[in-house]
Amino acid sequence: MNNTEKNNTEKNNSMDTATYTRSDIVFALAMLACGFLYWNLILDAGLGAGVTLFAAVFCLSTVLYLKSGKFRQTRTSWLCFIVIILSSLVFLLFDNILIKGLNFIFLTAAVIYWISLSTGRNLEKRISAYILGDLFNQVLVIPFRNFGCCFGAVKRLFGRNQKGKSLLAGAVGILVMIPILAAVINLLTRADAVFAGMIANLQFSVSMNIIVQILMGIPVACYLYGLIYGDRHGRNTGYVTVETVDKTAAAFRFSPGVTVYTALTALNLVFMVFFLSQITYLFSAFNDRLPELMTHAEYARRGFFELCAVAGINMVVITVAHLIVKRDKVRILQIETAILCLFTLMLIITAISKMVMYIHYFGLTPLRVYTTWFMLVLLFLFAVIAVRQFKKFNAARIMLVGFVMFFMILSYGNIDGRIAAYNIDRYSNGTLENLDVQALSSLSEAAVPYIYTLYQETTDQSLKADLKAAIDQSAGSALREPRQETFRDFNFQRHTAESIRKML
């Protein structure tokens, strides 16, 4: 065991007995509230304004807690915090449930990484490939190693005297018995009408749903508190280090170089044969030229998703090759990787050209937009990887920043609104033969204003009726559960769409 690992082990062992200050105790109570709000504002709602509100409450509580520990935001942590703000506002502004679902995952990862940046617990002081070790440490190790600290802080609050200990024990007993009491009362009310009437007359103000949210919020609070308390005090933060990550990576390098290089050469030869066999029409989509006996739809769709899959597989192949190969002849690995990246870039450009031609003739759909976005992201990543084989620079930082920018463009691009506007505009100009109103109705509430504009302008009564039906039955309204909505479900695009429906 080297000195660094020994120091880390001693550090972690010395932190086994947690100590709690007043700010630690107050923050534990705040996280218990956040645990309840996590379910009440987010998971029991429609990923609307509730997510934005929760993010604001949680981040404010965390900033105040870290500030009490003399932690100050750095330039990098401020940039990450700005990304968190932008991501959280998506739920307030837009209605696309797919993008909001992806944004929720993105927001969660961004918040966790921001906490590590704010407390200086990241493995390197710069963005690098060690960010994967940071995420493993911050997502799995630190929170669960400190999972019981929230209970420890609360116990510290109530355990100072015998009266407080009795109060805490009673509260624990009530929490344990709440589900049992609720089940028994529910069964008894079904069994006896008199008892049911008596219970109804009590007029309980707290619903069973709230009780469940309180109980389910406790493990959420323990996770959040364990992460932030651990990062602030350095408790159980030394299990994942640069040395342990390097040692783990070295353990994976078991494959002889000749094995990996032969496999990469074989794959590159397959791509070479593929391109040579189709050289006459591979890039014909750029010039709007088609192979014989093929329509625009057949040519554009044939092989597009297969090319996307191949590009994704190539990314996995490159990652695995660099992970398992023994570093004896790095130059050969770099050349093979660069050639594979070049072929993949050609595949991506071919696929994008096909999709552009398909969109030109048949308009936009969400699937066409998302796959094109995905291919552009891959194009960027493969280009960075290819350049990195011949020039040293911080590729991890460029790839991370680039991905964040691409994701923000996707999030703020108002995809469904742009799709509706594009298709309607081209139909109105006569460059799109047919307008698929049913496809428009499958879009989120973002499409409603554009459909309504065409509804006002058209004189075709049949089209007008179809557009009205599309507005009334848009996917944004159809996907919502039949329940009373609150501010937690609110977003501006939904509000605008509902206002338009009231005018019809």
Residue pair 65/232 in contact by the 8 Å Cβ criterion? yes
User: Per residue in 148-163, pLDDT tens?
Assistant: 999 899 888 776 655 5
Nearest partner of 143 among 279, 236, 247, 16, judged by Cα: 236
User: Per residue in 194-216, pLDDT tens?
Assistant: 666 666 655 454 566 787 888 89
Which of the two residues, 90 and 186, has the higher pLDDT score?
Answer: 90
Q: Counting beta carbons within 10 angstroms of the beta carbon of residue 240, is it exposed (0 to 12), middle (13 to 18) or buried (19 or more)?
A: buried
User: Per residue in 394-416, pLDDT tens?
Assistant: 999 999 999 999 999 999 999 99
Integer Cα distance of 504 and 502 in angstroms: 6
Which of the two residues, 307 and 348, has the higher pLDDT score?
Answer: 348
The mean-pLDDT minimum among 113-127, 176-190, 192-206 falls in 192-206
Q: What is the pLDDT of residue 75?
A: 92
Q: What is the pLDDT of residue 9?
A: 40
Q: What is the pLDDT of residue 299?
A: 64
Average pLDDT estimate for 436-462 = 93
Average pLDDT estimate for 70-74 = 90
Integer Cα distance of 135 and 113 in angstroms: 7
> What is the DSSP code (8-state) at residue 287?
G
Which of the two residues, 380 and 361, has the higher pLDDT score?
Answer: 380
3-state secondary structure 317-348: HHHHHHHHECCCCHHHHHHHHHHHHHHHHHHH
User: Per residue in 464-501, pLDDT tens?
Assistant: 999 999 998 876 555 555 556 788 899 999 999 999 99
Q: What is the pLDDT of residue 104?
A: 97
Q: Which amino acid is it at 119?
A: T
Provide the b/e sequence for 289-303 (b: ≥16 CB within 10 Å): ebeeeeebeebbeee
Residue pair 71/118 in contact by the 8 Å Cβ criterion? yes
Q: What is the pLDDT of residue 193?
A: 72
Q: What is the pLDDT of residue 205?
A: 47
Average pLDDT estimate for 303-329 = 84
Share of the chain above pLDDT 70, in %: 80
Neighbours of 243 (CB within 10 A): 13
Integer Cα distance of 222 and 239 in angstroms: 20
Q: What is the pLDDT of residue 485?
A: 75
Nearest partner of 57 among 92, 88, 102, judged by Cα: 88
Work out the mean pLDDT of the chain and round it to a whole number.
85
47: pLDDT strictly greater than 80: yes
Average pLDDT estimate for 28-35 = 94
Which of the two residues, 417 and 250, has the higher pLDDT score?
Answer: 417
Which of the two residues, 433 and 49, has the higher pLDDT score?
Answer: 49
Neighbours of 227 (CB within 10 A): 28
Nearest partner of 94 among 445, 466, 432, 470, judged by Cα: 445
Nearest partner of 31 among 230, 207, 246, judged by Cα: 230
Q: What is the pLDDT of residue 306?
A: 78
Q: What is the pLDDT of residue 277?
A: 75
Integer Cα distance of 60 and 248 in angstroms: 37
Average pLDDT estimate for 286-294 = 58
Which of the two residues, 210 and 122, has the higher pLDDT score?
Answer: 122
Q: What is the pLDDT of residue 131?
A: 92
Q: What is the pLDDT of residue 409?
A: 98
Q: What is the pLDDT of residue 185?
A: 67
Calculate the CA dihedral of residues 155, 157, 158, 162 and round it to 10 degrees: 100
Task: Match 């550090």 to its residue by tokens.
Answer: 11
Any bridge partners for residue 471, and if so which? Answer: none
Alpha helices in 128-256 (DSSP H): 131-136, 142-145, 149-158, 162-191, 193-202, 208-233, 242-252
Contacts of 157 (CB under 8 A, 6+ apart): 25, 28, 29, 164
Q: Counting beta carbons within 10 angstroms of the beta carbon of residue 255, is it exposed (0 to 12), middle (13 to 18) or buried (19 or more)?
A: middle
Q: What is the pLDDT of residue 1?
A: 39
Q: What is the pLDDT of residue 80?
A: 96
> What is the DSSP code (8-state) at residue 123?
S
Share of the chain above pLDDT 90, in %: 56
370: which 2 tokens?
A: 């998302």
Q: What is the pLDDT of residue 474?
A: 72
16: pLDDT strictly greater than 60: no
Q: What is the pTM of this model?
A: 0.86
Q: What is the pLDDT of residue 419?
A: 97
Q: What is the pLDDT of residue 293?
A: 58
Helix axes 75-93, 49-68, angle to 10 degrees: 160
